[in-house]
């Protein structure tokens, strides 16, 4: 059995939809945010806490797990789920974004990407076939085809070449599959060029993937171009498969994309920003290092029932952050991830009622960014 996607409700006024992604291991409801667990851990939280927050799928990073501790070692220790103590679904990316972000350390050809490890400088070659092998060896449930991601800005000819190579690698990724379980998602590229996006959609969506992702956004283009690209691209993706917007973003970004029919998201913002002293709340962002929170006895978000908001004040969290205490990052990460999970839950409820547009307008009007 491969990945299954079922649409359970559609909004009346927008393309937003609510559904279920299911595999042999289990299922989770969409639209859904997937916390990023780069090195087989979502920084600052236990797996049990993620389950309590309602998460059904988290993301692992192929590039980092390939380098340390190694995919074969993970398999020898029972696979990625047992290794990290997570019994729900895991999506692994292909490693392509990490490799392509190290422009000074890699060289790209149609055959492969050769790169040097950021850890020790050792030389490696990543092919579409190896990316699939690593993910299957890890035992993830959703796997990504290797693609070529290009940062913004870039010349048209560079984007066009990336579209061509992404299709070539997508075909090779599908041919490299050896295990029948789980599912594989293809990635659409094309930069900010509408015709190249359409070409990539047509080529990638003609292939037998179980889902499709919008790649090559949030790479320096700014919010306006990002949202224009999502608005153009999402409706072109197959309606009967999950649509995944990679690496995006803020709560407002998520709501905007859900309104365009996107189902899945991942981003480091809620965990990274927590480590930097910033929390997302129903009334906007709270950055505790600001002096105005020195004597603030309020919880981070009066409308939130997470353990952090039930226990700590903004003043105390500011104190922890200024002292460099690890509890600061842990507590604020719990809050941010709870906020994201609850936002997606409320989005699903609004879609089921048919009033997602009203929910989105109300949420953005209250201060959510």
Active site residues: 93, 266
Query: What is the Cα–Cα distance from 319 to 259, expressed in whole angstroms?
Result: 39
Structure tokens at 158: 């560079």
Instruction: Name the nearest CA neighbour of 230 among 263, 203, 182.
Output: 263
Cross-strand partners of 91: 59, 142
Query: Which single residue is written with the structure tokens 């960014």?
Result: 369
Query: Among residues 159, 123, 161, 165, which one has the least CA distance to residue 146?
Result: 165
Spatial separation of the C-alpha atoms in residues 328 and 320, rounded to whole Å: 5
How deeply is 19 buried, as exposed, middle or buried, from its count of CB atoms within 10 A (0-12, 13-18, 19+)? buried
Q: How many CB atoms lie within 10 A of CB 289?
A: 12
Going by C-alpha positions, the residue among 237, 208, 181, 241 that lies closest to residue 19 is 241
């Amino acid at each position: 059995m491969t990945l299954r996607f079922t649409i359970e409700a559609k909004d009346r006024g927008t393309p937003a939809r609510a559904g279920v992604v299911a595999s042999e291991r289990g299922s989770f409801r969409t639209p859904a945010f997937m916390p990023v667990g780069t090195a087989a851990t979502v920084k600052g939280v236990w797996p049990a806490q993620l389950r309590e927050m309602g998460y059904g799928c988290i993301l692992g990073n192929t590039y980092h797990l390939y380098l340390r501790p190694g995919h074969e070692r993970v398999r020898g220790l029972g696979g990625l789920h047992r290794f990290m103590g997570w019994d729900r679904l895991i999506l692994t990316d292909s490693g392509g974004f990490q490799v392509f972000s190290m422009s000074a350390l890699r060289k790209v050809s149609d055959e492969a990407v050769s790169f040097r490890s950021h850890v020790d400088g050792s030389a490696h070659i990543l092919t579409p076939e190896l990316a699939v092998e690593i993910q299957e060896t890890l035992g993830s449930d959703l796997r990504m085809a290797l693609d070529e991601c290009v940062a913004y800005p870039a010349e048209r000819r560079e984007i066009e070449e990336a579209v061509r190579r992404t299709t070539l690698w997508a075909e090779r990724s599908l041919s490299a599959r050896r295990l029948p379980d789980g599912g594989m998602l293809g990635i659409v590229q094309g930069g900010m060029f509408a015709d190249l996006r359409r070409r990539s959609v047509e080529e990638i969506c003609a292939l037998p993937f179980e889902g499709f992702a919008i790649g090559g956004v949030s790479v320096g283009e700014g919010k306006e171009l990002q949202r224009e690209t999502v608005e153009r691209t999402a409706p072109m993706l197959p309606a009967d498969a999950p649509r995944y917007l990679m690496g995006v973003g803020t709560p407002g970004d998520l709501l905007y994309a859900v309104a365009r029919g996107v189902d899945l998201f991942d981003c480091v913002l809620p965990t990274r920003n927590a480590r930097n002293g910033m929390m997302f709340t129903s009334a906007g962002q709270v950055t505790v290092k600001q002096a105005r929170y020195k004597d603030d006895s309020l919880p981070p978000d009066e409308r939130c029932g997470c353990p952090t908001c039930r226990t700590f004040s903004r003043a105390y969290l500011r104190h922890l952050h200024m002292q460099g205490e690890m509890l600061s990052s842990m507590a604020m990460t719990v809050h941010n991830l709870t906020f994201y999970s609850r936002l997606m839950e409320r989005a699903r409820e609004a879609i089921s009622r048919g009033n997602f547009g009203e929910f989105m307008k109300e949420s953005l009007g209250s201060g959510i960014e």
